[in-house]
Amino acid sequence: DQQVKQNSPSLSVQEGRISILNCDYTNSMFDYFLWYKKYPAEGPTFLISISSIKDKNEDGRFTVFLNKSAKHLSLHIVPSQPGDSAVYFCAASAGGGGSYIPTFGRGTSLIVHP
């Protein structure tokens, strides 16, 4: 039962272009969404998050968009750089009681070509 889905296992983009990574979720109780970035042989590191009361959050080159009615979020990276090449995990959590234990998708491998 995949509550968080990342249907594209990989994405290849030219340096300087926009990278768009997509994520869908099924649990309507999710109210907080996060993106993590993972390099090989390292643990995931937090990148950006968004609360369900917002539809957009921006941090430098990274912007996350949330469409609650479609249960869809996306991560935009502009402009993409070779150092952005990594696996990106989408995660979602349901608040209440401060539990905030994220459920993760299976990740999308982004390759940015110079």
Partner 1 sequence: DTAVSQTPKYLVTQMGNDKSIKCEQNLGHDTMYWYKQDSKKFLKIMFSYNNKELIINETVPNRFSPKSPDKAHLNLHINSLELGDSAVYFCASSQVQGSGELFFGEGSRLTVL
To partner 1, the closest distance from the beta carbon of 17 in angstroms equals 25
Residue 41 CA to residue 38 CA, distance in Å, equals 8
Residue closer to partner 1 (CB basis): 79 or 103:
103
**Shortest Å, Cβ 38 to partner 1:** 8
Residues that bind partner 1 (CB under 8 A): 2, 32, 34, 36, 41-46, 49, 87, 89, 91, 93, 95, 98-107
| Contact in structure between 86 and 75 (CB atoms under 8 Å) | no
Give the nearest distance from C-beta 34 to partner 1 in angstroms.
Answer: 6
**Are 37 and 52 a contacting pair, CB within 8 Å?**
no
Residue 98 identity:
G
